[in-house]
């Protein structure tokens, strides 16, 4: 709430001054970033330092979903699903209230999603309940992460599979930087 108040105060100052005070630009961007993180934290996320989430969706349930995201991560357009309510359609013991619109009417399988440090997750990726992603990992866009991913790899696909070690990914991009500097 504090970050939101500061952000909107800064935005108001920017509007009043016609965006002519350059000293307001960086703090306004900083508090926009913090407000964004607060929104994800309110959904059950623990977020490390220097981590950014861009247009992500985090599942939520009446019993609370948990997401642990490490330091120096970038998640873009990622969906994190920390619960699965589908068994309640087939297992009658999981139907807790007859009215499906009532909060807590169905019991869901839930397990935290844990994402290590230095992880990039590409746009459109879906991470399922209980998955742990190690440190120093790149997850390709559009992947469906159905199982744990070890540290130090690039993985992609539906379902996800390990593509190569991170060292080769880094080497390939260093080559691209040399060959096509205008693309960076």
Domains and CATH numbers, the chain: 1-42 (no CATH), 45-183 (2.160.10.10)
**Angle, vertex CA 85, rays to CA 141 and CA 155, nearest 5:** 20
- pLDDT of 118-176, one tens digit each? 999 999 999 999 999 999 999 999 999 999 999 999 999 999 999 999 999 999 999 99
What is the reported pTM?
Answer: 0.86
Is pLDDT of 28 > 90? no
Task: Name beta bridge partners: 84.
Answer: 109
Pairing of strands 153-156, 161-165: antiparallel
Is pLDDT of 14 > 90? no
Q: Is 50 a catalytic residue?
A: no
Residue from 118, 7, 1 nearest 52 by CA: 118
Which one of the listed residues 47, 58, 81, 83 is annotated catalytic?
83
């Amino acid at each position: 709430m504090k970050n939101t108040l500061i952000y909107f105060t800064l935005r108001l100052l920017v509007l009043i001054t016609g965006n002519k005070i350059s000293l307001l630009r960086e703090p306004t961007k900083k508090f926009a970033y913090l407000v964004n993180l607060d929104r994800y934290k309110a959904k059950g996320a623990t977020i490390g330092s220097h981590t950014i989430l861009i247009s992500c969706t985090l599942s939520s349930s009446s019993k609370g979903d948990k997401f642990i995201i490490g330091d120096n991560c970038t998640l873009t357009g990622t969906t994190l699903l920390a619960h699965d309510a589908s068994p309640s359609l087939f297992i009658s013991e999981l139907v807790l209230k007859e009215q499906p619109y009532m909060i807590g009417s169905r019991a869901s399988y839930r397990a935290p999603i844990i994402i290590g440090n230095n992880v990039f997750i590409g746009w459109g990726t879906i991470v399922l309940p209980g998955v742990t992603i190690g440190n120093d990992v790149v997850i390709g866009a559009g992947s469906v992460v159905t199982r744990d991913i070890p540290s130090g790899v690039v993985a992609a696909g539906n379902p996800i599979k390990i593509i190569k070690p991170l060292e080769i990914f880094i080497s390939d991009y260093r080559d691209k930087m040399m060959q096509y500097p205008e693309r960076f």
